[in-house]
Amino acid sequence: MAASEFIDYMIPGKCGHLVGIGGVSMSPLAEVLSERGLIIRGSDINESQTVMRLRSKGISVTIGHNPQNTIGADFVVRTAAASDDNPEIAAARSLGIPVFERAQAWGAIMREYDNAICISGTHGKTTTTSMVTTILMQAGADPTVMIGGTLPLIRSGYRIGSGRTIVMESCEYYNSFHWFSPTIAVVLNVDEDHLDFFGDIENIKKSFRKFAGLTPADGCIILNADDTNTLDALNGINRRIISFGIDKNADVKAKNISLGKLTAFDIYYMEKLFCHIRLGLAGIHNVKNALAAAAACIALDIPAEAITKGLACFEGAERRLQYKGSFNGADIYDDYAHNPGELSALFEAVCELGYDRVICAFQPHTYSRTKLLFDDLVRELKKPDILLLAQIYAAREADTMGISSAMLAERIEGAVCCRSFEVIADTIRSMARPGDVVLTVGAGDIYKIGEMLAVSSNDDCQNHSNAK
């Protein structure tokens, strides 16, 4: 069913059942629909703080998936994790209740906003979406926001605003962003990922081109002038274009760049100085993210002062080179990087910080990604001084592809494949020293290692203090 058909159900008094209502983009969807006067209820596998929050807002949530839960619903919306054999999905279809995808619902909601900024790309989406959010809030635009991670400013991955702008992180997997209705489509980069679905880079390019083409005739596309795949994918597309970049000629360009733990640069728009940026993040990739965010806001006529102040106060998104603490004088950072492009950007940023050694604990994400991008992962994972590999995080997959972390370790000199997080943490405890940086990296639950180390460090400090 098309997103336009979901609009027919966005009527006060209609009853919607959300399968997987506690999910990162399902819970804000529940709130948005509820605030519009719909009767919203849902189910999830586990109790969580999100579930409790929804209940506090009068949204009924049951734990477990039961066919009875769909009775009386006018429509059902499902999370991507709810397959066709989910008992609630099967029951809804047997009762003739329409079943919508999560992205379809968001796509319909976007149509009711004057401005829909949809931020896409193989990597950098969460940070850039967070930057745009911070700028718009600085400008008083009061946006509605959906981010794929937690933004400290709003203490969440989403907010429900009263303004006329919605900002959406837009994922290409399964062509989900094809359901969206952007007025401003941002394409940060186009790279090989999700090859289990797309098959090859050409199909990925086609997907991004279709997404960008969803903008209306008076819409705008923000694209990375430094990224060859992006330029190839969007070549000749008939929309207003605002390009951003560093290396190539671009409409929004960074000059006079100073890198380090604090990054500074000038933004030039149409070859004229637009503003000076001080950014509390490391890495040239974050300069590009900031340029993309600035370009999207320029398309909305946001003033330079708001862009300057918004980026100056931006503290980063959760799990994006996030400082977690220290152990034995070594700083601990956590990062979500899980594909070769993200790893390259991460290691480049960390090299700029001047640490003596980089100790990286990496958790490969999904068997298919590890197998299909194996050689590229090997190339990037050779960069840290010390590499500890966790077992592959399966996510939605089963271990049927004949690939393992041990196979990565065999190709990387000095790499060690560990059977558990506890072994990795103990290994780091035995070697970490002042001047080191410890990175916990991956899209799964590898962040727990950094928390284990930081906690043990805090315990050591407390014991030392008590001893005094």
Catalytic residues: 125-126, 169
CA 323, CA 450: separation in Å to the nearest integer? 9
Within 13 A of 82's CA, how many CA atoms are on the CB side? 30
* Residue 422 burial (10 A CB sphere; 0-12, 13-18, 19+): exposed
Contacting residues for 76 by C-beta, under 8 A, at least 6 apart: 16, 17, 18, 19, 70, 88, 89, 92, 97, 98, 99, 100
State both tokens at 17.
């059942």
CA 78, CA 17: separation in Å to the nearest integer? 8
Sign (positive or negative) of CA dihedral 327, 331, 335, 337: negative
Contacting residues for 441 by C-beta, under 8 A, at least 6 apart: 334, 335, 336, 337, 338, 343, 346, 360, 361, 362, 363
Q: Which residue has the tokens 């990054």?
A: 263
Measured CA distances, 424 to 77, 186, 218, 450 (Å): 40, 38, 53, 10
Nearest to 15, CA basis, from 31, 37, 43, 45: 37
Q: Which residue has the tokens 């950094």?
A: 450
- DSSP E strands in 294-367: the ranges are 322-327, 330-335, 357-362
Gyration radius (Cα) of the chain, Å: 23
CA 252, CA 295: separation in Å to the nearest integer? 6
Within 13 A of 4's CA, how many CA atoms are on the CB side? 0
CA 402, CA 406: separation in Å to the nearest integer? 11
Neighbours of 4 (CB within 10 A): 12
